[in-house]
Amino acid sequence: MEKEYVWYACYGSNLCRSKFIERYINACTDRTPPKEDRPYIIRHQMYFAGRSGRWNGGVAFVSTKADEQAQTLGRVYRITMEQLDEVREKEGPSSHWYGNKLYLGMLEGLPVYTLTRDPQYDGHETRVPSPEYQEVILRGLKEIYPQVDGKAYLRKTIEYTQSIM
């Protein structure tokens, strides 16, 4: 059976390639690393919400509503649909966590998906992320967007989060 490939668009701690592979891909049935990855601007507003015991604070989500003004700095990984579904299960498939596999469009003939909350949770339970979580995001940003001031980007996203609290 031929594998069905997709692009997984991430925007939080999974920006860090080694963390993504170690935590998610290595735990999949098919442990094949992503065929490729690259920067990808997600046209949905990122915010921090929920409470992760692992990260001791809020974690990143994107709004389910597209916004052409939004510039969430993301990274796409070319993986199989099976791997994406397993990543979704490991991320927490509930509707208020990462249960929503959101279609973002097409890239080079393949569908692009991200994982976020269901629409009724957009902007709810907002919470500032811990310094540890921010550091992992900064590492990923430095890998894929070396020219971007990651701290300024996170500051702006935290300010947005605080404005909707």
Indicate if the pLDDT at residue 165 is higher than 80. Answer: no
Strands 5-10 and 110-116: parallel
Amino acid at 148: V
What are residue 5's DSSP bridge partners? 80
Domains of the chain: 5-163 (3.10.490.10)
Burial 31-51 (b: 16+ CB within 10 A, else e): eeebeebeebebbbbbbbbbe
Q: What does the pLDDT look like over 108-141, one tens digit per residue?
A: 999 999 999 999 998 889 999 999 999 999 999 9
Token digits for 149?
Answer: 């001031």
pLDDT at 123: 85
Q: What does the pLDDT look like over 90-117, one tens digit per residue?
A: 998 777 899 999 999 999 999 999 999 9
Indicate if the pLDDT at residue 31 is higher than 90. Answer: yes
pLDDT at 164: 87
